[in-house]
Amino acid sequence: MTNEKEFIAQLLDPKTQNIAFQKLLSDYQKPLYNHIRNIVLNHDDTDDVLQNTFVKVFQYLKSFKGESKLFSWIYRIATNEALTFLNQKAKLNGITSEALQNKAIDNLKADTYFDGDEIQIKLQKAIVTLPEKQQLVFKMKYFEELKYEEIAEILGTSVGALKASYHHAVKKIELYVTSN
C-alpha cells in the first residue's frame, strides 16, 4: 500500500509526473486493452476508448482520493468509457446496444485482428444474451481472470453477489451453446 501511495504522490508531483505516468501506461495498457476489447469487440473502437481512458485518468488524477485502489479506479473509468461508447454508437445507428453487439460479433469473422473459430463466436453470441452486469462479470472472471475481490471493487458490489452473477451467467451460456 505504501508503494501505491508513493506512486500516486509521484503522479501528482509535476517533477516526477511524466515518468510516473509512463510507468502507469506501460503497466496498464495491456490489461486495460483486453478489458475494453472484451466490451467493445473491435480493435479500432478499443484503441479510441483506451486512449480516452488514459487521458481521463491523467485529467482526474488530482481528484483521486485514494479511497479505492488505483487499479480499481482505473478499471472503473475504462469500464464506464467502454459502456458509454457502446451506448452512444448504438444511439447514433438507431439500434439497441444488444443489436449493435450482435452486429460486431458478425463482423468478427472478417476482422483481421480476430483469429477465433466457431466456438469463440458462439460464446460471444451467448454472452450478448446476458444482462449487462452479468456480461461484465463473466468477461472479467472468465477471460481476464480477475479475482472476485478485484471485480467487486471495480463494480462496487459484494463478492457474494458477484459469485451468484457469475454462476447464473455460466448456466445461461451453457444452455445457449447446447441448444444452438
Partner 1 sequence: MKAFKLENEPKIQTGFKTPDHYFDTLSAKVLQQINDKKEVKVIPIYKRKKVLSLVAAAAVVVTLMIPVVNNYNATSKELDEATLETYLSYQSNLNQYDLMKELDTKDIDKLNKGVALEQETLEDILSSNPNIENLISE
Q: Decide if 50 contacts 33 (C-beta within 8 A).
A: yes
CB 100 within 8 A of CB 89: yes
Amino acid at position 169, single letter: A
- With binding defined as CB under 8 A, does residue 115 bind partner 1? yes
Of residues 7, 16, 31, 33, which one binds partner 1 by CB under 8 A? Answer: 33
> Per residue in 113-123, is it b (16+ CB within 10 Å) or e — as a string?
ebeeeeeeebb
Residue 26 found at the interface with partner 1 (CB under 8 A): yes
Does the protein bind partner 1 through residue 60 (CB under 8 A)?
no
Cell triple for 116: 477465433
Q: Are 152 and 159 in contact (CB under 8 A)?
A: yes
Under the criterion CB under 8 A, does residue 43 sit at the interface with partner 1? Answer: yes
Instruction: Considering the complex, state which of residue 2 and residue 26 has its C-beta at the smaller distance from partner 1.
Output: 26
> Which residue bears the cell 479505492?
68
117 to 156, contacts with partner 1 by CB under 8 A? 117, 119-120, 123, 142-143
CB of 108 to partner 1, least distance (A): 8
CB of 172 to partner 1, least distance (A): 11
CA distances from 7 to 4, 58, 76 (A): 5, 14, 19
- Residue ranges binding partner 1 (CB under 8 A): 21-22, 25-26, 29-30, 33-34, 37-38, 43, 47, 50-51, 54-55, 58-59, 108, 113-117, 119-120, 123, 142-143, 170, 173-174, 177-178
